[in-house]
């Protein structure tokens, strides 16, 4: 599995230059069966990262550009009356895929956002009383511009909680940027990428990751972190967040070729997993400190 | 960034400044004005520096200011030592320290100094009011500690105050145990600077016209008395203080005889029942203890002199509580003859002044009056001529006794007593002046008597054949009210008297007496809780007699037990699991500590290894391997013995280097 993962990372790194840490985090999120939220300024390569990952993992990929006039049916699909067979026929929307890139999710109205988020949680779509299961694997990579941008509807905390991780991409370093300027013409890569694995392998890997050993001392540490957040912040980490933290730590351990998770794994993913769940919508500057503060305050058992 | 170096915000500074302001308020009356103003302006300056994000002043500016402040204290108090000077120095230096206070460490330092300053108030006063007020800075200091230990966002002020109060309340059981059990040492643990005793009032060892009335105008409390059994009558309450033998012009002095040349004790015969009482004497920085005429029992560390003064071995510098036994009906030296030496001392006067008095005495001598007749003649003179009792007598001329007896005829106890004794001695009757207090006010709330400085009094004793030393109070002849009802009833309204001892204003005096009863309880049970009382309380509580060494033992035992139990509960939740792996790993941590790397509890093994290899790059391979192996054993699924051996080997290898 280690080899496969390394090749996935290597392939993605050829497109997204100098962002290995972010690629690993995104991959860990997918391996932990979670939805990913990428948040950054426009033009930082959010869409490219999502697209590349889907290609490399050999998954069906659909993209929806969210706008403020996008309706729930535009994402989920619609039942249309077919005169030939005299009944309603369901036309599946773009959500029926493996990877859905929800571009600029915070531009859509809350109604559309919640339709998507419901589908994310339940892995199925219910329309006109009929339930349609979504393909497996299914996950959403949503991108969003920082909230202060004009014309956006910020996601409420309850919906942010559905995303396993939130990552930021950040500016490339000097060397990577130079390389980017030298080799690429536009943000979308011209070279077609060969998939490293297929959907079945991915499912198998996800299964293996859930079997990564999490020892008692590590669970002590995990619970101490959760407890600390509940004692310290207005809203603490939910049980779902605790579970997310564990899964991400397992995935991170797998990426590094270990069959057990360590405190470092938790510490590395902590910031991406907890900050969007704990930071209040107004406290933008505070979000960066939360993970640091937790790590500096909680002793490793 | 290390923990102690964390910079704190305006919010925390506000808390610190409020706490310091409260401490300043607590000490306001003990500090020179410039120190108060200086501290306040330093505090305000510090506040605006933080608020406007200005720079803190540089060392170049602070150093001269600090030296100037020290110089100022030195000049104000003529030195840097002593209680008052040290306090002022500490206050101004702490205020200056604000100018370089920005990190957590600085805050903690100032807070601890603040606790110390708060406790210092007890060097000045231990009254209930001051003690209660000192709780306020304590609460605020503790709340500040709570605030600064939570640095990321401001805590609610009510929450932190409540928590501080709760913490202090939790400390009360410990405080009580320590209060009850901590061995009492007679006197303070360390020498209190001598200026602590300035400003204590009380009787002096000399009497001259016009020095006692200052004391009489002083309403403060001299001592309190609890009587066991029946109260004596008001006119029997003569509290005996210094006995003055020696006349020099208008001054009367005590006679200090050397130890080996002292006079034999006068023979006391008593009739009737003894009066038992307990006196709580306020400190007056002199050696005499006040007892009812005539004492037959001297407390520990005190003795009864030949003329029945009770003299303590050391000046009374702390509130003192002692038992007294006196006989109100007595004869002193009745069946003795006065020795030649006593005779000389009791008759000696300066005869180069007061010619009219001397002439009067001469007249009595030649008319062969007996001693008793002479006394009666003198009292008759006081009683029948227009003598007036007043605290504001006219100034007496060069022949003060003449002037008083024949011209002004206005005065108070010391005038009457000293003129009477002068007259008696001139007429050949041995006589002496006794100073002390007369009377007292009964507090119905506590069933004890308050004797104030304003009850200070002077009277005479004359020696009569077959009767010995007999008390004669010439003041009683002039103003019987003074003796029977106390000073406040004896004086004309116009005479100024302290507010407290005026009897009008009844609701106020009732309230005052109640408050004094509370104070008396405080004095006895809190401040007067000495070794003796401690032992008796413990014996009562435990029904067995205990010595101080037992108390020390029990105290140590109690404290250790409490600490052990608390430690157990504190550590129980966070205690490291002392398993075999931790034991091996601890060897590594120990070695790291030796080379100056302190592992933190929030640090992972890998982080620690990274830190070590930054300092010792050559060891990187080894430290990485140690971390990896440790992680595998601690968090991995398989505890394979080869990993154990590997870790042991790696740590041994590391230790060797």
CB contact under 8 A, A213 and B637: yes
Q: Where residue A280 falls among pLDDT bands split at 50, 70, 90?
A: low
Chain B residue with CA closest to A259: the answer is: B636
Q: Please return the burial class of B105, using the count of CB atoms within 10 Å of its CB with bins 0-12, 13-18 and 19+.
A: middle
Q: Across the interface, which of A259, A262, A293 has its CB nearest the CB of B637?
A: A259
Task: Name the residue among B202, B211, B207, B248 with its Cα closest to residue B433.
Answer: B207
Comparing CA positions, the residue from B139, B136, B123 lying closest to residue B198 is B123
Q: Is residue A293 within 8 angstroms of chain B, CB to CB?
A: yes
CB B602 to CB A296 under 8 A?
Answer: yes
pLDDT top residue among A245 and B339? A245
Neighbours of B596 (CB within 10 A): 7
For B327, list phi and psi in degrees, rounded to 5. -110, 125
Q: How far apart are CA B226 and CA B40, in angstroms?
A: 46
Asked if pLDDT for residue A188 goes beyond 70, the answer is no
Average pLDDT over every residue of B574-583: 64
Q: Which of B259 and A62 is assigned the larger pLDDT?
A: A62
d(CA B144, CA B115): 12
* Cα–Cα distance, B600 to B598 (Å, whole number): 6
**pLDDT of residue B244 exceeding 50:** yes
Closest residue in A to B574 (Cα) is: A301
- What are the residues facing A163 on neighbouring strands? A35
The residue in chain A having the minimum alpha-carbon distance to the alpha carbon of residue B635 is A215
In 3D, which of B305, B303, B301 has the Cα closest to residue B317? B301
Cβ–Cβ gap B636/A215 under 8 Å: yes
User: Residue written as tokens 């079945």?
Assistant: A200
Contact A259, B636 (CB under 8 A): yes
Paired sense of beta strands B456-464 and B431-438, if any? antiparallel
Tens-place pLDDT, residues B56-72: 888 888 999 999 999 99
Q: Which residue has the higher pLDDT, A153 or B194?
A: A153
pLDDT tens readout for residues A172-182: 888 888 888 88
| Interacting residues of B291 by C-beta distance below 8 A, sequence separation 6+ | B239, B240, B279, B310, B324, B326
Closest CA to B315 of B281, B291, B277, B292: B281
Q: Which residues of B touch A293 (CB under 8 A)?
A: 152
User: Tokens 């590094």 appear where?
Assistant: A256
Q: How far is B580 from chain A (nearest CA, A)?
A: 14
What's the CA gap between B657 and B250, in Å, rounded? 91
Instruction: Find the helix packing angle between B605-615 and B620-635, rounded to 10°.
Output: 170
Which of B115-119, B488-492, B516-520 shows the lowest mean pLDDT across its residues?
B488-492
CA distances from B509 to A150, B254, B499 (A): 76, 37, 10
Residues of B marked active site are found at 413, 457, 473
* pLDDT of B98 over the 80 cut: yes
Mutation target for B interface from A217, A233, A300: give the one with most B CBs within 10 A.
A300
At residue A11, the pLDDT reads 87
A299 to chain B: closest CA residue: B602
Instruction: Look at B148-152, B245-249, B511-515 and tell me which has the smallest mean pLDDT.
Output: B148-152
DSSP state of A260: B
A59 to chain B, closest Cα gap in Å: 33
pLDDT over 90, % of chain B? 16
* Per-residue pLDDT, B638: 66
| List of chain A residues whose C-beta atoms are within 8 Å of the C-beta of residue B576 | 301
User: Chain B contact for A79, CB < 8 A?
Assistant: no
Residues of B in contact with A264 (CB under 8 A): 604, 606-607, 631
* B606-624: pLDDT as tens digits: 888 888 888 888 888 888 8
Pairing assessment for the beta strands B238-244 and B320-332 based on DSSP bridges = unpaired
Mean per-residue pLDDT over chain B, rounded: 82
Sign of CA dihedral A223, A224, A228, A229: negative
Model confidence at B141, pLDDT cuts 50, 70, 90, reads very high
Provide the pLDDT confidence category of residue B628 given band limits of 50, 70 and 90.
Answer: confident
Mean pLDDT to the nearest integer, A266-286: 75
Give the CA distances from residue A137 to residues A34, A96, B42, in Å, rounded to whole numbers and listed in that order: 10, 11, 67
Is pLDDT at B345 greater than 90 in this prediction?
A: no
Residues 6 or more apart whose CB falls under 8 angstroms from that of A153 comprise A68, A106, A107, A108, A109, A110, A113
Spell out the long-range contacts of B605-609 with Cβ–Cβ below 8 A and sequence spacing 24 or more.
B605/A262, B605/A263, B605/B630, B605/B631, B605/B634, B606/A262, B606/A264, B606/B631, B607/A264
- The nearest CA of chain A is from the CA of B153 a distance in Å of 10
Predicted confidence band of residue B174 (pLDDT cuts 50, 70, 90): confident
Res B303: pLDDT: 84
Query: What is the per-residue pLDDT for A191?
Result: 61
Residues of B with CB under 8 A from a CB of A: 152-153, 574, 576-577, 601-607, 631-632, 634-637
More confident position, B423 or A278: B423
**Is B637 in contact with A260 (Cβ distance < 8 A)?**
yes
Side by side, the strands of the sheet bearing B288-289 are: B288-289, B310-312, B302-304
> Is the pLDDT score of A23 beyond 60?
yes
Hey, are the CB atoms on A264 and B636 less than 8 Å from each other?
no
Q: In the predicted model, is pLDDT for residue A233 greater than 60? A: yes
What residues of chain B lie within 8 A of the CB of A263, using their CB? 604-605, 635
> pLDDT for B518-553, tens place per residue?
888 887 778 778 777 787 887 787 777 777 777 788
Contacts of A298 in chain B (CB under 8 A): 602
CA distances from B413 to A91, B209, B232, B434, B477 (A): 120, 10, 22, 11, 11
Report yes or no: A292 at the B interface, CB cutoff 8 Å.
Answer: no
Asked if A300's CB is within 8 angstroms of B603's CB, the reply is: yes
Q: Which residues 218-277 of A have a C-beta within 8 angstroms of B?
A: 218, 258-264, 267
Confidence of residue B2 (pLDDT cuts 50, 70, 90): very low
CB contact (8 A) between residue A262 and residue B607: no
pLDDT tens-digit map of B361-414: 888 888 888 888 888 888 888 888 888 887 777 878 788 888 888 888 888 888
CB B324 within 8 A of CB B297: yes
Here the tokens at position B557 are 């035992």
Annotate B178-225 with DSSP letters as a single string. HHHHSPP-SS-SSPPPGGGGTT-----SEEETTTHHHHHT--SEEEEE
Measure the CA–CA gap between B198 and B507, rounded to whole angstroms: 34
pLDDT at residue B90 greater than cutoff 80: yes
Does A296 sit within 8 Å of B637, measured CB to CB? no
Give dist(CA B81, CA B87) in Å, integer. Answer: 9
A213 in contact with chain B, both atoms CB, cutoff 8 A:
yes
**Beta bridge pairs of residue A142:** A37, A102
SS3 B249: coil
The DSSP secondary-structure symbol of B600 reads P
Q: Among B152, B604, B637, select the one facing A264 at the smallest CB separation.
A: B604
Gap between the Cα atoms of B378 and B431, Å rounded? 13
In order of start, what are the domains of chain A with their CATH numbers?
2-207 (3.40.50.300), 211-301 (1.10.8.80)
pLDDT score recorded for residue B1: 38
Could you tell me the pLDDT band of residue B654, with boundaries at 50, 70 and 90? confident
Mean pLDDT throughout B326-340? Answer: 83
Q: Give the pLDDT band (50/70/90) at residue B568.
A: confident
| Of B481 and A197, more confident | A197
pLDDT at B639: 62
Give yes or no for a contact between A132 and A90, defined as CB atoms under 8 angstroms apart: yes
C-alpha closest to that of B147 among B108, B191, B180, B194 = B108
In chain B, where the domains are located: 3-181, 206-501, 531-540+547-574, 580-656
**Which structure tokens are listed for A122?**
């339940």
Q: Kindly list the distances between the CA atom of residue B466 and the CA atoms of A115, B364, B550, in Å, as whole numbers in the listed order.
A: 121, 21, 55
Going by pLDDT thresholds of 50, 70 and 90, the confidence category of residue B23 is: very high
Residue to mutate among A229, A259, A262, A287, with most B CBs inside 10 A, is A262
Question: In B554-563, which positions are buried (b, 16+ CB within 10 angstroms) versus exposed (e)?
Answer: ebeeeeeeee
User: pLDDT digit string (tens) for B201-215?
Assistant: 677 777 777 666 667
- Chain A to chain B Cβ contacts (< 8 Å): 51
Does A260 sit within 8 Å of B635, measured CB to CB?
yes
Mean pLDDT across chain A, nearest whole number? 85
Distance CA A258, CA A1 (A): 10
CA distances for B570 relative to B317, B462, B567, angstroms = 44, 75, 5
Answer whether A259 sits within 8 Å of B634, measured CB to CB.
no
For position B108, what pLDDT does the model report? 93
Measured between CB atoms, does A124 come within 8 Å of chain B? no
Residue B650, judged by CB atoms within 10 A of its CB (0-12, 13-18, 19+), counts as: buried
Using CA atoms, how far residue A97 sits from A58, A245, B529, in Å, is: 12, 26, 85
> Which parts of B438-546 fold into alpha helices (H)?
474-478, 480-485, 487-490, 506-522, 531-542
Q: Percent of chain B scored above 70 by pLDDT? A: 89
First to last CA, chain A: 30
pLDDT digits (tens, 9 = 90+) for B271-311: 888 888 988 888 888 888 888 888 888 888 888 888 888 88
């Amino acid at each position: 599995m280690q080899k496969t993962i390394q090749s996935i990372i290597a392939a993605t790194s050829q497109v997204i230059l100098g962002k290995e840490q972010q690629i690993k985090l995104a991959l860990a999120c997918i391996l932990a069966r979670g939805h990913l939220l990428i948040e950054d300024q426009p033009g930082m390569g959010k869409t490219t990262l999502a697209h590349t990952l889907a290609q490399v993992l050999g998954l069906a990929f659909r993209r929806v550009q969210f706008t403020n006039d996008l309706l729930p049916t535009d994402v989920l699909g619609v039942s249309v009356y077919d005169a030939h067979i005299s009944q309603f026929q369901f036309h599946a929307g773009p959500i029926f895929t493996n990877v859905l890139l929800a571009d600029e999710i915070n531009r859509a109205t809350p109604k559309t956002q919640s339709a998507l988020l419901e589908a994310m949680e339940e892995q199925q779509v219910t329309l006109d009383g009929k339930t349609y299961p979504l393909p497996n694997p299914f996950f959403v990579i949503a991108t969003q511009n920082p909230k202060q941008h004009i014309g956006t509807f910020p996601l409420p905390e309850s919906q942010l909680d559905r995303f396993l991780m939130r990552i930021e991409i950040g500016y490339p370093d000097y060397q990577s940027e130079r390389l980017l300027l030298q080799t690429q013409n536009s943000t979308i890569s011209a070279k077609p990428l060969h998939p490293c694995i297929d959907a079945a392998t991915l499912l198998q890997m996800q299964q293996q990751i859930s079997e990564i050993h999490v020892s008692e001392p590590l669970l002590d540490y995990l619970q101490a972190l959760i407890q600390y957040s509940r004692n310290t912040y207005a809203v603490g980490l939910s049980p779902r967040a605790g579970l997310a933290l564990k899964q991400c730590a397992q995935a991170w351990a797998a990426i590094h070729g270990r069959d057990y998770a360590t405190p470092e794994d938790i510490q590395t993913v902590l910031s991406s997993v907890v900050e969007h769940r704990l930071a209040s919508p107004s406290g933008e500057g505070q979000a960066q400190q939360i993970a640091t503060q937790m790590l500096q305050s909680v002793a490793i058992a | 960034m290390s923990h102690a170096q964390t910079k704190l915000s305006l919010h925390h500074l506000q808390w610190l400044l409020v706490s310091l302001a409260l401490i300043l308020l607590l000490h306001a009356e003990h500090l020179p004005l410039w120190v108060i103003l200086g501290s306040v302006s330093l505090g305000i300056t510090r506040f605006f520096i933080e608020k406007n994000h200005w720079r803190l002043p540089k060392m170049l500016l602070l150093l001269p200011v600090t030296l100037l402040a020290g110089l100022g204290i030195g000049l104000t108090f003529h030195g840097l030592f002593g209680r008052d000077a040290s306090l002022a120095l500490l206050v101004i230096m702490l205020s200056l320290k604000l100018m370089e206070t920005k990190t957590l460490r600085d805050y903690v330092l100032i807070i601890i100094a603040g606790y110390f300053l708060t406790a210092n108030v007890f060097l000045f006063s231990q009254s209930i009011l001051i003690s209660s007020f000192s709780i306020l800075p304590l609460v605020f200091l503790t709340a500040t500690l709570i605030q600064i230990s939570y640095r990321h966002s401001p805590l609610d002020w009510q929450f932190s105050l409540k928590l501080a109060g709760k913490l202090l309340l939790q400390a009360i059981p410990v405080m009580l145990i320590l209060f009850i059990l901590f061995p009492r040492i007679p006197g303070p643990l360390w020498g209190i600077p001598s200026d602590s005793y300035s400003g204590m009032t009380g009787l002096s060892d000399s009497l001259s016209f016009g020095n006692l009335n200052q004391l009489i105008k002083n309403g403060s409390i001299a001592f309190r008395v609890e009587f066991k059994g029946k109260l004596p009558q008001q006119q029997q309450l003569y509290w005996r203080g210094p006995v003055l033998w020696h006349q020099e012009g208008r001054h009367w002095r005590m006679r200090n005889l050397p130890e080996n040349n002292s006079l034999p004790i006068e023979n006391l015969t008593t009739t009737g029942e003894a009066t038992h009482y307990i006196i709580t004497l306020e400190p007056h920085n002199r050696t005499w203890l006040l007892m009812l005429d005539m004492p037959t029992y001297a407390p520990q560390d005190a003795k009864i002199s030949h003329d029945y003064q009770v003299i303590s071995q050391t000046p009374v510098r702390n509130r003192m509580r002692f038992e007294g036994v006196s006989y109100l009906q007595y004869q002193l030296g009745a069946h003795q003859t006065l020795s030649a030496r006593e005779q000389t001392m009791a008759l000696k006067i300066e005869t180069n002044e007061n010619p009219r008095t001397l002439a009067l005495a001469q007249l009595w001598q030649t008319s062969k009056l007996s001693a008793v007749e002479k006394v009666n003649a003198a009292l008759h003179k006081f009683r029948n001529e227009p003598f007036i009792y007043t605290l504001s007598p006219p100034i007496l001329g060069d022949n003060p006794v003449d002037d008083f007896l024949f011209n002004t005829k206005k005065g108070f106890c010391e005038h009457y007593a000293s003129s009477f004794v002068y007259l008696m001695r001139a007429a050949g009757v041995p006589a002496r002046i006794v100073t002390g207090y007369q009377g007292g006010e009964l507090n119905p709330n506590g069933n004890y008597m308050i004797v104030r400085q304003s009850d200070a009094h002077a009277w005479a004793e004359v020696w009569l054949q077959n009767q010995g030393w007999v008390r004669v109070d010439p003041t009683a002849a002039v103003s019987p009210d003074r003796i029977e009802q106390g000073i406040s009833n004896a004086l004309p309204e116009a005479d100024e008297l302290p507010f407290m001892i005026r009897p009008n204003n009844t609701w106020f005096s009732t309230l005052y007496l109640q408050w004094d009863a509370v104070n008396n309880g405080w004095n006895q049970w809190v401040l007067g809780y000495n070794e003796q009382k401690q032992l008796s309380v413990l014996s009562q509580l435990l029904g067995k007699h205990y010595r101080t060494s037992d108390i020390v033992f029990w105290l140590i035992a109690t404290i250790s037990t409490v600490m052990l139990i608390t430690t157990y509960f504190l550590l129980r939740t966070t205690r490291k699991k002392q398993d075999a792996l931790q034991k091996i790993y601890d060897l590594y941590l120990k070695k790291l500590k030796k080379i100056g790397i302190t592992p933190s509890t929030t640090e992972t093994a890998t982080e620690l290894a990274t830190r070590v290899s930054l300092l010792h790059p050559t060891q990187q391979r080894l430290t990485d391997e140690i971390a990896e192996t440790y992680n595998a054993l601690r968090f991995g699924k398989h505890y394979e013995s080869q990993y154990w051996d590997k870790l042991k080997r790696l740590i041994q290898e590391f230790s060797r280097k």
